[in-house]
Amino acid sequence: MKFCVPPSKEKFWGGHHFSAGRGAGSLCWSGPSCRAGSGPDMLAELLVAVVTGGLILFLVQKSRSQVLKAEDGWWGPGARPDAEEDDSLRPFEVRTSDEELEDLYSRMDRTRPVPSLEDCQFHYGFNSQHLQDVVSYWRKDFDWRRQVHRLNQYPHFRTRIEGIDVHYVHVKPKSLAEGATVVPIILVHGWPGSFYEFYGLIPLLTEPQDPENPVFEVVCPSIPGYGFSEAPHKKGFDTVCAANIFHKLMKRLGFQWFFAHGGDWGWQITTNMAQLDPGSVRGLHLSFAPASRPGLVMALSLMFGRLFPKLFGLTDTDLLRLYPCTDKLLDSMKESGYLHIQATKPDTAGRALNDSPVGLAAYVLEKFSTWTNQDFRNLEDGGLTRKFSLDDLLTNVMIYWTSGCITSSMRFYKENFGKGLDQPHSRIPVNVPTGFACFPNDLMHSPKLWVKQKYRNLIHYSPMPRGGHFAAMEEPQLMAKDIQEFTKTVQKKINQ
């Protein structure tokens, strides 16, 4: 039997020539030159090819079949009771009182200003001179009662899950065209933000002006320990625990499937939701996706990406945001002091912030300055009102103040980082359809190549024209458009 055919019928595959002829024995499997082959050699090579292909297929399938596991927890005080948990959905209303405001004003009036250094702008933190201006506006002009009315423009609820009350805003579309499908979506915030970050985004999703865009039903919860969600009473509540609770919330609301969006901690929580139950998360949209487990691809792209950008698919924007590496690393270190405090001893700093509204405002609002644009550190006023109104910024601060949640929100860092960086969820890829809106002034830049290492089904990557870390609050129009486009892409794939 001869295993050779004329060169014109050969195809090159994996360093060998392979051809199928018309006759039963007309098969060529040979090295670089066509020669008579022996049956045993050919069978051995075929066996190697089959085993190798099978191993690759096994590894791919194993990667796809990995699902994050989470046990039901009990985060309420004391031991879990024998009685079944009350799963009712209770209407909730944000309220304020004269006593609450009098206490706030009294503390503000007794603040002790500390003069800033000359010519320091925001490089030492919140500029003290400008802080006095903010406090003056807060004390004399800011109308918290009016903002409470604004907060209550959307329906609020609380429901008990795993021993704690979980707060959420639930907004349904006011009108719906005949035959239209409502797309449920959960929006998850981070620190030092709150559900209020999404107030400019919600109407754009629930009442889109373009009839071609999907109509969303929005669920916007407060992470337990943030805002009006009860804080866990026990140690260990991390992003996986929050993801498990939010899955239960969505199922309790009757959703068998939904889309999810997250930034900051919301990125990790919604990512964990996609890992816990991929079947229910139809699409995952992110505005923040740092490399949680840097690997070889990331290292090689950093080492050689500046020399061979096309090899790693790096754009001019990627090069601008990544290099020079030492400068970018130093910039990150300048913005990470809070993280070390909160990941180690949150209760110490939290106690001081919980007592002082002025201290709380300085601590929170400084992030809305430098995390929106690091160049704002060069400005005396931190550029705060270039992207946000003082009313919106102080409303977010007041959510922390009136709920007394600053310490419990800071503990979230210790619960996550205290377990180490090599957690099960960091090793499990995400296979649900994923979209990423890459805002140019965010804390960390994530090239498309890096995002794909974790999110294997990345179908939508959008370099955004402007915006920073609090993108949903800063650029709601851009965020809404990207979520809409991503959702349409997912739905199109499903309908094919």
Catalytic residues: 264, 413, 469
Whether residue 370 contacts residue 376, with contact meaning beta carbons closer than 8 Å, is answered with: yes
8 Å CB contact between 490 and 282: yes
Q: H or E stretch including 326?
A: helix 325-334
- Helix/strand/coil for 11: strand
Separation of alpha carbons 119 and 96, rounded Å: 39
Q: Which two tokens stand for residue 177?
A: 């065209």
- Neighbouring CB atoms inside 10 A of 33's CB total 7
Tell me phi and psi for residue 25, to 5 degrees: -105, 20
Decide if 368 contacts 397 (C-beta within 8 A): no
* Cα 271 to Cα 286: distance, rounded to the nearest angstrom: 9
CA 385 to chain CA centroid, nearest Å: 25
- Return the half-sphere exposure (C-beta side, CA atoms, 13 A cut-off) of residue 260: 33
Residue 240 DSSP class? H
Pair 384, 474: CB distance under 8 Å: no
Q: How far apart are CA 23 and CA 5, in angstroms?
A: 11
The CA angle 153-155-161, to the nearest 5 degrees, is 145
Strand partners, 83: none
**CA gap 4, 25 in Å, rounded:** 9
Give the position of tokens 């090689």.
Answer: 300
Dihedral of CA 168/173/179/183: which sign?
negative
- Can the peptide bond before residue 32 be classed as cis, meaning omega within 30 degrees of 0? no
Rg of the chain (C-alpha set): 27
Cα 239 to Cα 241: distance, rounded to the nearest angstrom: 5
Task: Give the Cα separation of 126 and 468 in Å (integer).
Answer: 18
Please report, for residues 331, 491, 493, the alpha-carbon distance to residue 319 in angstroms, rounded to integers and kept in the order given.
Answer: 16, 33, 32
Q: DSSP labels for 339-391?
A: HHHHTT-HHHHHHHHHH-HHHHHHHHHHHHHHTT-GGGGGSTTTTHHHHS-HH
